[in-house]
Chain A
């Protein structure tokens, strides 16, 4: 079965420090990969998605970047964190290919980031 791993689960970082959140998927090949952010009491905001190695699409301009160095690895980064980067960050995957139109998203357990 497919599993998705995200780490760390919680992170407290000072303003101006760098960030690296990692996500890996097991049990599937060539997945679509996503980074979402969830603010307290609000819905999910899509930050980045990737349909293949090195292929990253950004949904909103921001202080963050994403990379996909391997097929099942997705990394969220920042060179200098802002207070507004605090939130709950979720990685997700879905099936890619001819059936992707009907494929649900499967989420990791998230990273709760607090920028102080």
Chain B
């Protein structure tokens, strides 16, 4: 799986948009970009994923650059409950490919 690079930490004011960047310059054509988050002492929570096009769901938006070498996760209106470590992962899915390599992620702190 391609390696990802994320900032170690970020702050965001409550109610503002949180924009979390991720670099994945070695991504290959069949690798998806996934975002998970982990609140302390809980299991990782799936947020969103995409291949080429921008994606949006009830939790967040995912913006993938045209060359696919980077992406941004957007939480449109951050709340205190969004404070967590956010992981960007790129992986190939398919038979036998179940490994999920989490890096150190970005610790997002939402400030009142």
* Residues of chain A whose beta carbon lies under 8 Å from any beta carbon of chain B: 6, 32, 34, 36, 38, 41, 43-44, 46, 49, 59, 90, 92, 100-110, 112
Contact = CB atoms under 8 A, between A and B. Distances in A.
A32 B96 CA distance: 11
Contacts of B44: 44, 90, 105, 107
Contact of B98 (A6, A32, A107, A108): A32
Interface residues of B, number: 18
Interface string B34-48: 100000011111100
Contacts of B101: 43-44
A107 B103 contact: no
B102 A44 contact: yes
A46 B46 contact: no
Interface in B13-34: 32, 34
A109 to B, nearest CB: 5
Given A103-B93, A104-B34, A104-B49, A110 B43 contact: yes
